[in-house]
Chain A
């Protein structure tokens, strides 16, 4: 079945440093979503990417979808303590429009 690998599993950064998490899928994706889960909370939708090579920005967050639609990344510029949480990617296979496969997540700690 479809697998979505996400790295790194953990990342500790000093406040103000940049952060990047990467997702790789074993199959071509029709779209990919990103979610953020604060400690003790539930996943909250950040964005969805659909097009090959797509790049979207939300303030300090930059999301990319690979040309082959098999990988994606989330980059945070100048992290803040409010960025703390676990970031998940979730891919939908081209062959199955209904099932969403989540990566294992990257837990971000921001040290003040």
Chain B
């Protein structure tokens, strides 16, 4: 089954404790992206990747890091989480450089206290 998986689905952590949210897709898509969703703000793009070893900033990259060492994986790293990073995070992948539909993962609800 074609899918995007994210782990963990839920995470409660404390300020400053480094964490990684994993994202994996099995559709051989070149384009992958991370979004955060906050009430009233829709989905805001954090980082995206056009291919392996190619990443670029989205609209809200501050406080986040990403890496793309393999085509299928695109982890999101919060080196020193802060309460304003409490949000719902979605990973997505797409074919053809992102010019086609994006397939979203199930989401990761992060709470930083």
Contact = CB atoms under 8 A, between A and B. Distances in A.
Contact of A104 (B40, B97, B101, B102): B40
B42 A6 contact: yes
B34 to A, nearest CB: 12
A100 B9 CA distance: 24
A99 interface: yes
Interface residues of A, number: 24
Interface string A38-58: 000111110010000000000
B102 A100 contact: yes
B90 interface: yes
A31 B35 CA distance: 19
Contact residue range for chain B?
20 to 34
B81 interface: no
- A interface secondary structure, majority: strand
A101 B45 CA distance: 7
Contact of B104 (A9, A43, A97): A43
A48 B97 CA distance: 15
B50 A98 contact: yes
B97 A42 contact: no
Interface of B: 31, 33, 35, 40-45, 48, 50, 56, 58-59, 90, 92, 97-107
24 contacts: A6-B42, A33-B101, A33-B102, A41-B106, A42-B104, A42-B105, A43-B43, A43-B104, A45-B101, A45-B103, A88-B42, A88-B43, A97-B97, A97-B99, A98-B50, A98-B56, A98-B97, A98-B98, A100-B33, A100-B102, A101-B59, A103-B42, A104-B41, A104-B42
4 nearest A-B pairs in the assembled complex, by CB-CB distance? A45-B101, A104-B42, A102-B43, A42-B104
Interface of A: 1, 6, 9, 31, 33, 35, 41-45, 48, 88, 90, 92, 97-105
